[in-house]
Amino acid sequence: MNIVTYVFGIVVALLVLVAVVELLRRRRLRERHALWWIVAGVVALVVAVFPGLLVSTAAVLGFSVPTNLGFFVCLVLLFMVSVSQSAELTALEEKTRVLAEQSALLEERIERLEQQHEVAERPTAGPTTAGPTTPAQTTTAQTLSTHVHDADRRG
């Protein structure tokens, strides 16, 4: 193996681990989602530091080319990430459905309460706007009526 390839593999594996840890530190990635990426970074680092391990493991497992074992491991890893994300998506869809149903029920309840409030604010059977409704208005109306009648008598 070429020394440049060896160093490049170690640097890339370390960059993957540093990136995942930094995303975790900044809370841009949650621990349960980072698990498989940390596993991938550690496996890549181990294989980069000990390339003979990949060759011997490939021979033991019956892979004729060690790179095929690497591709297989990557495929399994991506499958596990996909299954994990699908499970999370299913749980979030259920929560979204429940929240949408609760929101619809609350909106209906608000509409009913607003309608009840409007009905309660409407004037009931009683004096109309043509006549006085409070004692002060009644007194004022009587006073005006008296003055009008007095004026008619004088006129």
Distance CA 44, CA 14 (A): 9
DSSP one-letter code for 65: S
Q: Rounding to the nearest 10 degrees, give the CA dihedral for residues 39, 40, 46, 49.
A: -150
Say what the pLDDT of residue 123 is.
77
Provide the residue count of the chain.
Answer: 155
Tell me, yes or no, if the pTM score tops 0.95: no
Q: Please identify which residue in the block is written with the tokens 């009840």.
A: 116
Q: Give 89: exposed, middle or buried? Use CB within 10 Å, 0-12, 13-18, 19+.
A: exposed
Q: Please identify which residue in the block is written with the tokens 């109306």.
A: 141
Distance CA 90, CA 133 (A): 62
The pair of three-digit structure tokens given for residue 27, joined into one six-digit string: 């809370």
Distance CA 54, CA 70 (A): 8
Distance CA 56, CA 61 (A): 9
Query: Which residues, given as ranges, of the chain have pLDDT below 50?
Result: 144, 147-148, 155
Burial 12-29 (b: 16+ CB within 10 A, else e): ebeebbeebeeebeeeeb
Say what the pLDDT of residue 60 is.
97
